[in-house]
C-alpha cells in the first residue's frame, strides 16, 4: 500500500509525462484509414509527430488546424472546417480524429458545435466520420488522452445492440491500454487464436504501427481496425480490457451493447495470465492448447531460474500508472522491491502499489529516489539519470527513441513475461559486483551510504 504524493515544487525538471492530445492521436492511429488532427498551433502537431516517428520509426499521419494567434483569439471554426476539407481532398480518409490542445481549450473552442455547423454546411463530407475528443494539454497525461479517445470511439461509433441479441460465440473484443505495444497485441492475438477465438482490437496498433512493409502507400494510417469492425463490436461474446485506464471504455461498450467485460489490470506475471487463459478456455469451451501449457511451464521454470537474481533487488520505475502497476507487481512477484515509483497522472491503482510512496512527478524526482537502486526502468528520457547514477537502465514505455524495436517489445502473456524476466535477470547478472578483498570491509560506510539514500528521499 503506497501513499500517493504530489511534490510541492513549481518547476518540472526532466518530464516523465507527455500530453493528453498525443495519447489521443496514438489511439486514433489504431484505426484503419484514419487521419488524426490536432486542433491547435502547428507546433503541437509537429512535436507529437516527431516523437512518434522517433519511437516507431515509421511515417506518422498527423495533421494540424494550424491555429495562428489571430485565429486563436477569434475562434477556430474556420480552421477546423478548412482542415477537414483539405484532409478530405488530399488524404481521403474514412475518419478524421480530432483532439483539442491547450491553446484551443484555453480559448474555449466548442468543437462539437463546430462539427455540427460543418456537417450542415458540407453534406459532401458525410461519408467521412468525424470524432472529437477534448484533451487539453494542461490536464491529465498521455494515457488519459488515449483512454478518453477509446471511450469516445465506443460511444460514438459502436452500434447499440439489445442485451438479448445473438452474439458471435467465438469472437472477443480486446481493448488495450496505451502501454500495450503492437508486439503485446500480437502476442495476445496469438493466445486468443490458439483457442479458436477471433479478435477485434480497439485501437489496433498491431496493424498500423508494427513496422511492416505495406501493400501500398497510404497517407493515412497503414492498418488497424476498420470503422465497420468498430460498429460491430457489440456482436462479440466478450470484451477483454488491458489496463485500469480501459475500464471506462469497457463499461461504455457493455452499457451500449451488453457485451460483458473482464478487465486485467496487467497481463505480465503468472497469475494474471492464468486468469486470462482460464477465461479463454471458458469463452471458447475448449481445453487449453498444448502450446499454451508449454509456455506456462517455461515461465514457471524461468521464474525459478531468475528468482536468485531478483531477490532483494531494488528497482526504480518511472511510468504511467498502468505500466507502473504492471512492472511493480511483476517485480514484487519475483522477490524484487519497487524502491522508487514515479508516475504521471492519477489512477485508482496507485495506492495499491507495493512501495512506500508513489509520486506524481518527474524524472528529477525519480533520479533523486533511484540512488542505490539496482535497476532503472523508464522511457528513453531516463538515459541521462541512469548515466549519472551509474545503474543499469531498461527502456520501457513511450518514447523509446534511442533503441530499435520499440513496437515489438513484448511483456504480456506467459512468453512476454518469460522474456522480460530473462532480460532483466541478465542485466542483474551482467552488473553483479565481483567480490574484492575490500567487499566485506567498512560496513559502517555502507550503512552511511544507505542512510544518505534514505535522507535523499
Partner 1 sequence: MSSLSNKIQDVFNEPGCGKNQAKSEKERKKGCTKQLQPGGAAGGCAFDGAKIALQPITDVAHLVHGPIACEGNSWDNRGSKSSGSNLWRTGFTTDINETDVVFGGEKRLFKSIREVIEKYDPPAVFVYQTCVPAMIGDDIEAVCKAASKKFGKPVVPVNSPGFVGPKNLGNKLAGEALLDYVIGTEEPEYTTPYDINIIGEYNLSGELWQVKPLLDELGIRILACISGDAKYRDIACSHRARAAMMVCSKSMINIARKMEERYGIPFFEGSFYGIGDTSDALRQISRLLIERGAPAELMARTEALIAREEARAWAAIEPYKKRLTGKKVLLITGGVKSWSVVAALQESGMEVVGTSVKKSTKEDKERIKELMGEDAHMIEDMTPREMYKMLKEAKADIMLSGGRSQFVALKAKMPWLDINQERHHAYMGYVGMVELVKEIDKALYNPIWEQVRKRAPWEESTWEDVADSAIAAEAAALAANPELAREKRRSTPVCNCKSVLRGAIEDAIVEHGLTTADAVSEKTLAGTGCGSCKGKLEKILETMDHWHAETGKTGTQAQQAA
> With binding defined as CB under 8 A, does residue 94 bind partner 1?
no
Q: How far is the CB of 32 from partner 1 (least distance, A)?
A: 17
Q: Smallest distance, Å, CB 141 to partner 1? A: 7
- Number of shown-chain residues binding partner 1 (CB under 8 A): 70
Grid coordinates of 53: 516517428
Would you call 435 exposed, middle or buried from its count of C-beta atoms within 10 A (0-12, 13-18, 19+)?
exposed
Give 212 or 256: the residue with its C-beta nearer to partner 1: 212
Please, which of residues 17-46 interact with partner 1 by CB under 8 A?
Answer: 17-19, 21-22, 37, 40-46
Which of 30, 36, 48, 232 contacts partner 1 by CB under 8 A? 48
Q: Using CB under 8 A, which of the segments 86-94, 192-200, 292-300, 449-457 binds partner 1?
A: 86-94
- Residue whose C-alpha cell is 525519480: 366
Decide if residue 255 touches partner 1 (CB under 8 A): no
| Tally of CA atoms within 13 A in the half-sphere of 208 that contains its CB | 30
Residue with Cβ nearer partner 1 (98 or 277): 98
Is residue 136 near partner 1 by the rule CB under 8 A?
A: yes
For position 4 contacting partner 1 by CB under 8 A, the verdict is no
| Residue 386, C-beta contacts closer than 8 angstroms, at least 6 positions apart | 376, 392, 393
SS3 169: strand
Closest CA to 399 of 18, 136, 91: 18
Q: Which is nearer to partner 1, 5 or 300 (CB)?
A: 5
Report the candidate in 118, 131, 108, 114 with the shortest Cα–Cα distance to residue 30: 131
Query: Looking at 66, 154, 349, 425, which residue binds partner 1 (CB under 8 A)?
Result: 66
SS3 23: helix
CA dihedral 224, 52, 407, 196 (to 10 degrees): -20
Q: Least separation, in Å, of the C-beta of 17 and partner 1?
A: 5
Residue numbers 328-387 binding partner 1 by CB under 8 A: 381, 384
In eight-state DSSP terms, residue 272 is: H
When the beta carbons of 214 and 348 are compared against partner 1, the nearer one is 214
- State which residue, 37 or 334, has the beta carbon closest to partner 1: 37
| Residue ranges in 201-230 that form contacts with partner 1 under rule CB under 8 A | 213-219
Read off the C-alpha cell for 124: 459532401
Determine contact, residues 417/299, Cβ cutoff 8 Å: yes
Distance, CA of 150 to CA of 144 (rounded, Å): 10
Q: Which is nearer to partner 1, 86 or 170 (CB)?
A: 86
**Which of 26, 27, 34, 103 touches partner 1 (CB under 8 A)?**
103
| Choices 75-83, 111-119, 187-195, 282-290; region in contact with partner 1 by CB under 8 A | 75-83
Q: In angstroms, what is the C-alpha Rg of the chain?
A: 23
Binding of residue 128 to partner 1 (CB under 8 A): no
Of residues 142 through 171, those in contact with partner 1 by CB under 8 A are none
Specify the residue, 124 or 438, whose C-beta has the smaller distance to partner 1.
124
122 is a site residue for partner 1 (CB under 8 A):
no
Q: Report the side by side order of strands in the sheet with 168-176.
A: 198-201, 168-176, 236-242, 261-264
Sign of CA dihedral 36, 32, 225, 180: negative
- Bridge partners, 431 (sequence order): none
Summarize as ranges the residues that interact with partner 1 (CB under 8 A). 9-15, 17-19, 21-22, 37, 40-51, 53-54, 57-59, 63-69, 71-73, 78-80, 82-87, 90, 101-103, 106-107, 136-139, 141, 213-219, 381, 384, 401
Amino acid at each position: 500500500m503506497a501513499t500517493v504524493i504530489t511534490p510541492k515544487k513549481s518547476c518540472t525538471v526532466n518530464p516523465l509525462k507527455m500530453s493528453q492530445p498525443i495519447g489521443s492521436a496514438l489511439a486514433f492511429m489504431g484505426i484503419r484509414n484514419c487521419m488524426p488532427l490536432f486542433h491547435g498551433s502547428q507546433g503541437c502537431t509537429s512535436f507529437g509527430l516527431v516523437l512518434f516517428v522517433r519511437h516507431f520509426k515509421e511515417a506518422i499521419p498527423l495533421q494540424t488546424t494550424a491555429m495562428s494567434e489571430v485565429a486563436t483569439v477569434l475562434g477556430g471554426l474556420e480552421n477546423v472546417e478548412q482542415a477537414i476539407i483539405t484532409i478530405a481532398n488530399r488524404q481521403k480518409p474514412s475518419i478524421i480524429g480530432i483532439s483539442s490542445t491547450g491553446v484551443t481549450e484555453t480559448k474555449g473552442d466548442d468543437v462539437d458545435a463546430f462539427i455540427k455547423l460543418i456537417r450542415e454546411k458540407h453534406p459532401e463530407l458525410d461519408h467521412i466520420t468525424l470524432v472529437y475528443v477534448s484533451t487539453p494539454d494542461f490536464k491529465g497525461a498521455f494515457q488519459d488522452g488515449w483512454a478518453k479517445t477509446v471511450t469516445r470511439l465506443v460511444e460514438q461509433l459502436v452500434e447499440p445492440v439489445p442485451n438479448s441479441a445473438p452474439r458471435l460465440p467465438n469472437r472477443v473484443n480486446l481493448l488495450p491500454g496505451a502501454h500495450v505495444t503492437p508486439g503485446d497485441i500480437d502476442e495476445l492475438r496469438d493466445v486468443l487464436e490458439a483457442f479458436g477465438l477471433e479478435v477485434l482490437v480497439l485501437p489496433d496498433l498491431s496493424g498500423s504501427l508494427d513496422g511492416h512493409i505495406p501493400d501500398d502507400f497510404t497517407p493515412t494510417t497503414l492498418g488497424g481496425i476498420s470503422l465497420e469492425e468498430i460498429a460491430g463490436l457489440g456482436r462479440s461474446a466478450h470484451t477483454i480490457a488491458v489496463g485500469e485506464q480501459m475500464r471506462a471504455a469497457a463499461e461504455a461498450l457493455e452499457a451500449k451493447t451488453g457485451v460483458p467485460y473482464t478487465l486485467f489490470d496487467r497481463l505480465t506475471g503468472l497469475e494474471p495470465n492464468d486468469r486470462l487463459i482460464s477465461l479463454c478456455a471458458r469463452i471458447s469451451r475448449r481445453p487449453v492448447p498444448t502450446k499454451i501449457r508449454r509456455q506456462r511451464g517455461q515461465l514457471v521454470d524461468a521464474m525459478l531460474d531468475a528468482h536468485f537474481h531478483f531477490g532483494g533487488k531494488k528497482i526504480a520505475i518511472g511510468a504511467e500508472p498502468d505500466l507502473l502497476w504492471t512492472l511493480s507487481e511483476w517485480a514484487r512477484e519475483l522477490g524484487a522491491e519497487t524502491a522508487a515509483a514515479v508516475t504521471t497522472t492519477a489512477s485508482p491503482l496507485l495506492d495499491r502499489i507495493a512501495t512506500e510512496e508513489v509520486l506524481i512527478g518527474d524524472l528529477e524526482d525519480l533520479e533523486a529516489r533511484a540512488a542505490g537502486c539496482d535497476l532503472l526502468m523508464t522511457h528513453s528520457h531516463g538515459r541521462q539519470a541512469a548515466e549519472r547514477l551509474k545503474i543499469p537502465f531498461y527502456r520501457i514505455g513511450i518514447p523509446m527513441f534511442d533503441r530499435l524495436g520499440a513496437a515489438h517489445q513484448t511483456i504480456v502473456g506467459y512468453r512476454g513475461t518469460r522474456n522480460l524476466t530473462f532480460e532483466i535477470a541478465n542485466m542483474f547478472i551482467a552488473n553483479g559486483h565481483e567480490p574484492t578483498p575490500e567487499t566485506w570491509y567498512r560496513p559502517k560506510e555502507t550503512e552511511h551510504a544507505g542512510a544518505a539514500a534514505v535522507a535523499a528521499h
